[in-house]
Amino acid sequence: MQPSTMTALLQEERWAETLRTPLRLAGDLVLLKLFLPPRYYGSYLAFGADSEPIGVLDEGGLEILRLARGVPVADLLAADAGPASISRLDAVLSLVEAGLLVPGDDQPAQIHVIAPDQAGGTRHRGPGADAFIRYFYDYFGGVFFEGSPAIDTHGDFLPVLKAYFPEQRGVTCLDAGTGSGYHAAALARLGNHVYACDISKTRLEAAAKQPCAPGTITPVECNLEKIPLPDASIDFAMCNFVLEHVADPFALIDELIRLVRPGGTILLAVPSFSVRETLAVWLRGEVPSLNFEHLRSYGLIPRTHPWCEPTLDTLRYLEERGVSIERVQGVNITQGLWEPWASAVGAVAAQLGDAFSITWPWNCLGEQTVIQGRRTS
């Protein structure tokens, strides 16, 4: 039973040894910052040294962990956050119970934070980013074996993608971040040979089982920033709903450009901030949320959200590296839009007809954005 006040606690002999005990990190930690209002906005999904997720840490918990370098419990209780309190003691004890803190002097251990809203933009590099990608997608794949219909098909986005599939048959294709191989299989069934790449072995096992005749699927387990295939060996490379997941999307784009032969096609599909979401932030002050498994979302207007990756930056990046942008399509542009905006945008859509979804700026204001480019050099 705990004492009712910190003053009483500090005076009780039975707590004396606990308060003198130095605590340190049990091992390296990888933390993914979450933006899930209301409760998990600014919290962290924590992965322990064994690469398994442990739970979700709040900002106060992170502060305690940062301080725990062989520091006595009593000193952890009286840190900058304010005077010692029972709730702070509860926090320290919960971290010990979870195995994040152990008794002992300081040992080399690091806390790597992957924060989609970091000041330097949404690119993450270095050991923390490498560990995060390995840990997280192994966990994610382990949970959603073969993908759940709600996740892996992206609400059946296949009809949108099929319009971009190569007309020729028997071409060599790449599906970067294949997941369970749902889209790769559709491409293969048209008679193409698809290298299906993913960091998750469990998901690749599912991909390898997808019916794909008369084409083929070759699973390739790899970090998508280092795909083990030769330069200019791919005719058609697609990367669907992956750029929002990887540590450094531009490193992945560099890899796609390296792999696609001159004249070949690069197809990117990403989640993006829709008209509704953009207006909701600006006009209604709505608190946005980022899917916990996403590190960024693509938007027309920079800084719409802290983790907004401007779509135009990606288009510019591709063009500067010899990829001619042939088409940018917005998908589900008017989804969820409320009046009077729905009528106003609807009127524009009616006027433009089929061209609406590929006309700037509407093509960058859908719930999803598809980018088709051709490597020219």
Partner 1 sequence: MRYRRGGALVPLREFWADLTHGICSKSPPPRDPAAVSRAFDAHFGGLTRHRVASLDVPLTVHCESCRNNQGARRTSVCETHVGTLQGILEATVEAPLSVVYHPEPDGKCTLHVEPARSDDGRALVPWARRADHIALEVNDQGLVVHDTRTGERTQVNAAAWRVLNEATELRSSPSLAEVLRIDPQLAVELVKEAHRRAWVEVTFQPMPE
The b-or-e profile of 260-281 (16+ CB within 10 A means b, else e) is beeebbbbbbbbbbbbbbbbbb
Residue 144 CB, shortest distance to partner 1, in Å, is 7
Closest CA to 177 of 267, 264, 288: 267
Residue with tokens 């917005």: 330
For partner 1, give the closer residue by CB, 205 or 313: 205
Contact status: 127 vs partner 1 (CB under 8 A): no
CB of 181 to partner 1, least distance (A): 12
Contact status: 146 vs partner 1 (CB under 8 A): yes
Near partner 1 by CB under 8 A: residue from 1, 150, 283, 350: 150
User: Please, what is the minimum distance in Å from the beta carbon of residue 346 to partner 1?
Assistant: 21
What separation in angstroms does the CA of 169 have from each of 212, 219, 236, 242, 358?
13, 20, 11, 25, 26
Q: By C-alpha distance, which of 165, 200, 169 is closest to 293?
A: 200
Site string for partner 1, 190-229 (x = CB under 8 A): ----------------x-----------------------
Angle (CA) 235-236-240 rounded to 5° is 160
Nearer to partner 1, 152 or 235 (CB): 152
Site string for partner 1, 78-117 (x = CB under 8 A): ---------x--xxx-xx--x-x-----------------
Question: How many other CB atoms sit within 10 Å of the CB of residue 353?
Answer: 9
Taking residue 295's Cβ as centre, other Cβ atoms within 10 Å add up to: 28
Q: Alpha-carbon Rg of the chain, whole angstroms?
A: 24
Report the residue number, 87 or 343, with the smaller CB distance to partner 1: 87
Q: At residue 316, what are phi and psi to the nearest 5 degrees?
A: -65, -40
Nearer to partner 1, 26 or 370 (CB): 26
Overall residue count recorded for the chain in this entry: 377
> Minimal CA–CA distance to 249: which of 182, 324, 176?
176
Q: Which residue in this structure is represented by tokens 């698809």?
A: 194
Point out which span in 42-50, 114-122, 161-169, 236-244 binds partner 1 (CB under 8 A). 42-50
**Stretch of 6-14, 33-41, 115-123, 347-355 lying at the interface with partner 1 (CB under 8 A):** 33-41
Should residue 60 be labelled a site residue for partner 1 when binding is judged by CB under 8 A? yes
Q: Which chain residues interact with partner 1 by CB under 8 A?
A: 36, 39-40, 43, 45-46, 52-58, 60-61, 64, 87, 90-92, 94-95, 98, 100, 139, 142-150, 152, 180, 206, 292
